[in-house]
Amino acid sequence: MRFFLVVLLLSLASCSNQEKQSQQTKSTGVNICRYSKYLGVFKTKNGYLIRIQHPDNQKKRFQFYVSNAAQHLAVLSSTHIGMLSALNEEKRIAAITDIRYVFSPLVKKRFKQKHILALQNEQTMSVDQLLRSKSEYVIYSAFSGSFSQEERLEKLGIHCIPNFDWREQTALGRAEWLLLFGVLSAKVPEAVDLFKSIESAYVRAKKEKVNSKEMISGNVTGDFWYAPAGQSFMAELFKNSGLNYIYHGTKGTGSLAYSMEKVMKDGSNVKIWLNPGFSSKNEIVQVNPKAKYMPFFKEARIFCYTHDRNKFWEMSTLRPDWLLEDLAQIAAGNTTKNLHFYKEVK
């Protein structure tokens, strides 16, 4: 009789705990994200529910309940650092991949002071080093597909959160991943307010655009010229800034791969060349001697972000308004003001 009484009490306690947990994680049903295709953030009674959809597998979804701010975060992409920096939450960063690719002065300082550890690579990072960092969450980008360490880290009590901002098809959809870091740092209201200001500035810059002459983007790697496809977020930015991108009508959200002969033919009237990947014409020719025969090498104005690429990779995803302002000035032929990311290549 006593045995059955104990079982009954344990069963009631279990049901009570499950009901309490269900109430805590039950969301209001309102997703505060409005642009992202893959991120959902929902308010709950005592925190936030994060839902992430895998871009390539509709059946694969990730779900996390966060009730308190994380004290230690391992962030494996430059964009993650930029978003935490924008919220003034660099102090929560405990591990990164490689300090050489960091723009934030405070993160560099904290790394020098040994408050931040380097993991080197997302796929082959040292688990021992990660444990030393005391990180509660690892935010990764899965550029190589799956995250090889995920199962092991979950067993060790470290939650792994995929960030698919790089797969978004709109600039504001990418920037909205700021809200994920707002949840992890307990700064959701601040993140929402910052995103609204970015959204307003982006819409304003879009309205002020001036249509440009023909423009091309990219450069040769190996045997092909790689350029943004017409349905990519970069093509959207080109359009919204007034740039007349010659491949705006192509299909796809990734990159195009064209022969040099095709690009030379298509680019005969190009007057603006963006993102060649180098800071000077000499560098372009050293890597690709045939570039000097491109019709737009001599005739077009060339712009790139490579003079400060760490700033670009860390901040441009979060600040599409700055990126759009730069591109709009380039489109209008008025680059007398200081550009946020770009500089003319000469």
pLDDT, one tens digit per residue, over 90-149 is 999 999 999 999 999 999 999 999 999 999 877 778 888 999 999 999 999 877 667 778
Predicted confidence at residue 221, as pLDDT, reads 85
Q: How much is the pTM?
A: 0.87
Q: Element (H or E) spanning 75, and its range? A: strand 73-75
CB 162 within 8 A of CB 60: no
- Mean pLDDT comparison of 176-190, 202-216, 279-293, highest-scoring range: 176-190
Q: What is the pLDDT of residues 148-186, one digit of tens each?
A: 788 889 989 999 999 999 999 999 999 999 999 999 999
Span of 67-76, 194-203, 259-268, 333-342 with lowest mean pLDDT: 333-342
Span of 30-39, 144-153, 199-208 with lowest mean pLDDT: 144-153
Nearest one of 186, 178, 159 to 91, comparing CA atoms? 186
Look over the chain and give the mean of its residue pLDDT values, rounded to a whole number: 89
115 phi, psi to nearest 5 deg: -85, -15
- Angle (nearest 5°) at CA 38 between 208 and 240: 15
Predicted confidence at residue 283, as pLDDT, reads 94
For residue 262, give the 3-state DSSP assignment.
Answer: helix
| CB-count exposure of residue 8 (10 Å: 0-12, 13-18, 19+) | exposed
CB 178 within 8 A of CB 191: yes
Q: In this structure, what token pair is assigned to residue 275?
A: 């993102």
Span of 213-217, 227-231, 253-257, 288-292 with lowest mean pLDDT: 288-292
Average pLDDT over residues 188-198: 98
Q: What is the pLDDT of residues 305-328, one digit of tens each?
A: 999 999 999 999 999 999 999 999
List domains and CATH numbers for the chain.
29-201 (3.40.50.1980), 208-345 (3.40.50.1980)
305 phi, psi to nearest 5 deg: -105, 5
Predicted confidence at residue 28, as pLDDT, reads 58
105 phi, psi to nearest 5 deg: -60, -35
Predicted confidence at residue 9, as pLDDT, reads 38
Nearest one of 300, 292, 289, 286 to 331, comparing CA atoms? 300
Q: Element (H or E) spanning 333, and its range? A: none
Residue 253 has pLDDT above 80, yes or no: yes
